[in-house]
Homo-oligomer: A and B are copies of this chain.
Amino acid sequence: MSQPSAPRRTPGRPPRISREEIIRTARRIVDEEGVAKLTMRRLASEVGSTPMALYHHVRDKEELLVLLLDDYATRTLRRPELPADPRERAVAAATAIHEALAACPWIVEVLTADDLMSTSALWFVEQIVDGLAEAGLSPERAVHGYRAIWYYTAGEIVVRTTAARRRTDDDRATYREQVFAGLDADELPRLAQVADRWAPLTATDTYQDGLRALVHGLLAARPA
């Protein structure tokens, strides 16, 4: 998908811009100014061309974003040394994916990818499925386990990065504080109990804890 098209025997006009150049430029815009600034028009002018020239190299903006994610994954996902213990291997592989995504918040817009973020991430998926299988799950259950881990991971990224986006304009944060300050302790006693600690509690990074709990639960034999 992201590999440059093989150089053909140029039967027509020589290309002025390449898909690679488009992606490289798009990456720069996103890194420097955020994904919201990436428009076909802006990208075209940055690349020294016209909006319509881009459509000769990518089908539409959606494809461009997927290409960008693929490019990002290929460049940044380095395969780490994984623990021998299968359960720990699954945890480590999921954590590696999570870290790569967390470092790149614009990804949320594209995180729409259903099963896996990119073919470059397949190796990590393999490690998770294999870890779960070696730890005792059937192949089917291992795949379902992987999916649960992916839901949890994608959800953490989406919720956290959009919460961070909200925090910038802080009206909403203070609104939330008001809600928690005015909780009816009779109707919602547990929430009232933790109301004053809600902000720090929810700011804590508990990805690892939740991941370990999930993996633990997936591996525990439970009655269907």
Contacts and interface: CB of A to CB of B under 8 A. Distances in A.
A156 interface: yes
Given A119-B179, A190-B126, A144 B201 contact: yes
A84 interface: no
A218 interface: yes
Nearest to A179: B119
Tell me if A's interface is mostly helix, strand, loop or mixed.
helix
Nearest to A193: B139
A129 B201 CA distance: 13
Nearest to A131: B190
A202 interface: yes
Interface stretch (A14-22, A24-32, A40-48, A160-168): A160-168
Contact of A123 (B129, B140, B188): B188
Contacts of A166: 112, 114
Contacts of A122: 179, 183, 188, 191
Contact of A197 (B112, B133, B140): B140
Interface in A196-224: 197-198, 201-202, 204, 206, 209-210, 212-218, 220, 222
B1 A147 contact: no
A206 B144 contact: yes
A214 B212 contact: no
A125 interface: yes
A140 B218 CA distance: 23
Nearest to A175: B1
11 contacts: A112-B163, A114-B162, A115-B202, A122-B188, A126-B190, A139-B194, A144-B201, A144-B206, A151-B156, A151-B159, A215-B217
